[in-house]
Amino acid sequence: MAWTLTGVGIGDGLAMGKAWVLASARLDLPRRRLEPHQIEPELKRFQEAVEIVSAELTAIKLAMGQEPSAEVTALLELQSIILRDPLLVAATEQRIQNDHCNAEWGLLQQLEAVSAQFDDIDDPYLRERKADVQQIVDRILRAMQGEAGLEEAVREQTNQDEEGGWILVAKDISPADMLILRKHRFLGFVTETGSATSHTAILARSLGLPAVVGVSGLFNQIAQNDIIVLKSKEGSVHGALNADDQLVYKHQQLRYADDLKALEDLKQLEGCSIDGVSVLLMANIDLPDDVQIALDRGCDGIGLFRSEFLFMNRSTVPTEEEQFQAYSAVVRSMAGRPVTIRTLDAGADKEVSALHSGHDRPANPALASRAIRYSLQSPDLFLSQLRAMLRASAFGPVKILIPMVSGPSEMISAREMVQQAMTSLRAKGLAFNAKINVGAMIEVPSAAIAIDGLIAHIDFASIGTNDLIQYTLAIDRTDRSVAHLYNPLHPAVLRLIEQTIRSCHRANLPVSLCGEMAGDAELTRLLLGLGLREFSMHATEILKVKRVVRNSSVTSLARGVGRLLKLPDPALVRAGLSALNAKAEAVG
Ligand code: PEP
Ligand code: MG
């Protein structure tokens, strides 16, 4: 009987292939009591497994060559340190000796003891490291059981030259695993853990693979070599398929592939509507590596570089020099196309442990000291970031974007800091663009409502709908229990977007939109009708949005969209928008 499981879909794709199950090695491990003469060999077996894992980590590091980003290198270092930690290794050896238990059991008992200590730790950076310890324990267990790890899956996969391919099914995928996936193509992957904003999801997006994360019950349903289908837009995984089902999915897969190919043809074409209106389609990036896919999708520039990702997964903040290297690498790769770098947006859902360790967790993280609030409270850190961005501006058109601005005073202070950063660079004789544009994210309702007062202090505006929706509708964007209420089509949200665009146009100020709404092709005509002419999104969505732009007559959209704005309810707006899209598709 066919079954379906659901989770959070990443990207838009359909993959059908054989499951490569990378089960948690921690499941169902029995305790064995050892006879005294068995203890020495058991210790040896454990030590050999530790050596195997150590060699694996070294091999991964070497295989990465020049490629790895600083945060991935730091994670691998950290895992090597955990592997040598006496709390894990020596303590497990003691358990084997004292309790006469098998190594797997001893290691699991030790993991439990260590995990309990982690739960009591206040420091969020250290608390998060529990996952790293678990990943290392999994690796050791796998080595002891002689089980195939991801590396072996990859070898197997590349040895086999059969039709189809593999879909990776795993409990979780570590950054080290991601590096392996980056080099060898699986068709997609499914994980038991993870949410839309988890690291697994973020890295999956940068790989451009269809994926579904956070799927409970995976391992009860899927066995090695089962044929499964994953549909990432729907966030669904399907199995136990009969021949007819497989045929249907095969057709759907071919349609997806044709669609992708058709989209490829749009790469060289301009984002220009039927009636000749030019629309800029920019990419959002999290890490410098993401530039490749952005260029591959034919972006017009980087509309949002979320600099906070450079600060994640590490115990110290990146230096000015490190940041300069990262920013200038992106600017150079973009070869003259604009790059908008956002200053640190740490806090709330984007926890940067290196900054917040030792601090009390605020009661309402989304409303606490995050983004520009935090930067203004940490002037040295802010100045070093601004200097790095300014230095990168010597290599191409860079703009500085300030997150979570709520009113003019924050912009005035931020601009003063930019001036200070310039003064110190001048003193050192370092080059930068003294006319650099500094803009604000419009993502707090107060900034959108009172945009007129802000306009004098900004060179451009970028509407951050992810947070604008969260703050307007009072919906925590990370809380699953209220996710169904998070609605971009709420009239209040649409009116704030419309008002921001209108005010900026009136003042001749460039305005873009860089929240998830920009990458949703269903909403493209709505945004065009609201007057938006610059979109910034995940690179994987650019061509789909470009197709809608090229298939739209922008001037005629304004009236239809104006009518949608008057509707009282998101469901009515959705229905009206579907009708508007259908009509436009029929004409185009
Ligand atoms: C937003 O809030 O819309 C945005 C683009 O920023 P982030 O998702 O990084 O908060
Ligand atoms: Mg935001």
pLDDT value, residue 198: 56
Token pair, residue 313, equals: 């997964």
- Which ligand approaches the C-alpha of residue 518 most closely? 1
Q: Is the CB of 188 under 6 A from ligand 1?
A: no
The response to whether residue 515 sits with its C-beta less than 6 Å from ligand 1 reads yes
For ligand 1, the distance from its centroid to the CA atom of residue 304, given in whole angstroms, is 9
**Cα distance between residue 390 and residue 418, in whole Å:** 9
Facing residues of 229 across strands? 16, 238
pLDDT at 543: 95
Beta bridge partners of 237: 5, 230
| Shortest-distance atom of ligand 1 to CA 403 | 6
Here the tokens at position 24 are: 């948690």
Q: Decide if 549 contacts 498 (C-beta within 8 A).
A: no
Q: From CA 219, how far away is CA 397, in angstroms rounded?
A: 49
Positions of E strands within 379-500: 398-402, 437-442, 461-463
Least Cα distance to 98 among 147, 52, 33, 163 occurs for 33
Residue 393 amino acid letter? S
Which bound ligand lies closest to the C-alpha atom of 308? Answer: 1
DSSP strands (E only) in 444-583: 461-463, 511-513, 534-538
On whether the CB atoms of residues 350 and 102 are closer than 8 A, the answer is no
- Type of residue at 516: E
At 372, the amino acid letter reads I
Whether 492 contacts 237, CB under 8 Å: no
213 backbone dihedrals φ, ψ, rounded to 5°:
-115, 165
Q: How many CB atoms lie within 10 A of CB 19?
A: 22
**Contact present, 25 and 142 (Cβ < 8 Å):** yes
Environment class of residue 151 by beta-carbon count within 10 Å: exposed (0-12), middle (13-18) or buried (19+)?
middle
C-alpha dihedral, 302 to 304 to 308 to 309, nearest 10°: -50
Contact 416, 372 (CB under 8 A): no
Using a 10 angstrom Cβ sphere, with 0-12 exposed, 13-18 middle and 19 or more buried, the burial of residue 174 is buried
The answer to whether the CB of 349 is under 6 A from ligand 1 is: no
Can you say how many angstroms the Cα of residue 29 is from the centroid of all Cα atoms in its chain? 34
Q: What span, in angstroms and rounded, lies between the C-alpha atoms of 98 and 108?
A: 15
Whether 46 contacts 144, CB under 8 Å: yes
First to last CA, the chain: 42
189 contacts 208 by C-beta, under 8 angstroms: no
Note whether 366 and 406 are within 8 A (CB): no
**Ligand 2 center from residue 517 Cα (angstroms):** 12
Contact 17, 228 (CB under 8 A): yes
Ligand 1 neighbourhood includes 286 CB (under 6 angstroms): no
In ligand 1, the atom with minimum distance to the C-alpha of 462 is 5
Q: Is the dihedral of CA 255, 256, 259, 261 positive or negative?
A: negative
Pocket test for ligand 1, best of 467, 477, 516 (most atoms within 8 A of CB): 467
Beta bridge partners of residue 234, listed in sequence order: none
Residue 269's CB is within 10 A of a number of other CB atoms, namely: 12
pLDDT tens digit at each of 588 positions of the chain:
889 999 888 877 899 998 888 765 555 567 788 889 999 999 999 999 999 888 888 877 776 665 555 656 777 778 888 888 888 899 999 999 998 999 988 998 888 888 877 777 666 566 667 777 887 888 888 888 776 566 665 666 555 545 568 888 888 776 556 656 666 668 888 988 766 555 566 666 666 788 998 888 888 888 888 999 999 888 999 999 999 999 999 999 888 888 888 899 999 999 999 999 999 999 999 889 889 989 999 999 999 999 998 887 677 899 999 999 999 999 999 999 999 999 999 877 667 777 765 556 788 888 988 999 999 999 999 999 999 999 999 999 999 999 999 999 999 999 999 999 999 999 999 999 999 999 999 999 999 999 999 999 999 999 999 999 999 999 888 776 787 888 999 999 999 999 999 999 999 999 999 999 999 999 999 999 999 999 999 898 999 999 999 999 998 899 999 999 999 999 999 999 999 999 998 876
Residue 56 CB–ligand 1 contact under 6 Å: no
Instruction: List all residues 6 or more positions away from 544 whose beta carbon is below 8 Å from its beta carbon.
Output: 12, 263, 521
Please tell me if the CB atom of residue 465 comes closer than 6 angstroms to any atom of ligand 1. Answer: yes
Which residues does 83 contact at the CB level (< 8 Å), separation at least 6?
50, 53, 54, 57, 89, 136, 140
**169 forms bridges with which residues in the sheet?**
21, 190
Evaluate whether 284 touches 514 at the Cβ level (below 8 Å).
yes
Ligand nearest to the backbone CA of 468: 1
Residue from 340, 406, 472, 514 to probe ligand 1 pocket by mutation (most atoms less than 8 Å from CB): 514
CA of 541 to the centre of ligand 1 (A): 16
Going from the Cα of 513 to the center of ligand 2, the distance in angstroms, rounded, reads 11
Write phi, then psi, for 525 (nearest 5 degrees): -65, -35
What is the length of the chain?
588
Q: What is the pLDDT of residue 68?
A: 55
Question: Rounded CA gap, 17 and 228, in Å?
Answer: 6
Helices (H), 184-319: 199-207, 218-221, 243-264, 291-296
On the CB side of 466, CA atoms within 13 Å amount to 18
Task: State the distance from the centre of ligand 2 to the C-alpha of 464, rounded, in angstroms.
Answer: 5
Catalytic residues: 199, 514
Cα 468 to ligand 1 centre (Å): 9
Give the number of the atom of ligand 1 that is nearest the alpha carbon of residue 308.
9
Ligand nearest to the CA of 350: 1
Angle value at C-alpha 586, between 581 and 588, nearest 5 degrees:
90
Smallest CA separation from ligand 1 atom 1, residue: 464
Tokens 């853990």 — which residue? Answer: 193
What sections of 408-450 are H helices per DSSP? 408-428, 445-449
Distance, CA of 397 to CA of 460 (rounded, Å): 14
The CA distance from 214 to 84, in Å, is: 31
Task: Kindly provide the b/e burial profile for residues 66-100, where b requires at least 16 CB atoms within 10 angstroms of the residue's own CB.
Answer: eebbbbbbbbbebbbebbeeeebbebbbebbeeeb
Strand, helix or coil at 389?
A: helix
**What is the pLDDT, as a whole number, of residue 161?**
47
Which amino acid residue places its CA nearest to atom 4 of ligand 1?
464
Residue whose CA lies nearest to ligand 1 atom number 7: 466
Provide the token pair at 124. Answer: 């969020």
* 434/476 Cα distance (integer angstroms): 39
* Distance of CA 268 from the midpoint of ligand 2 (Å): 31
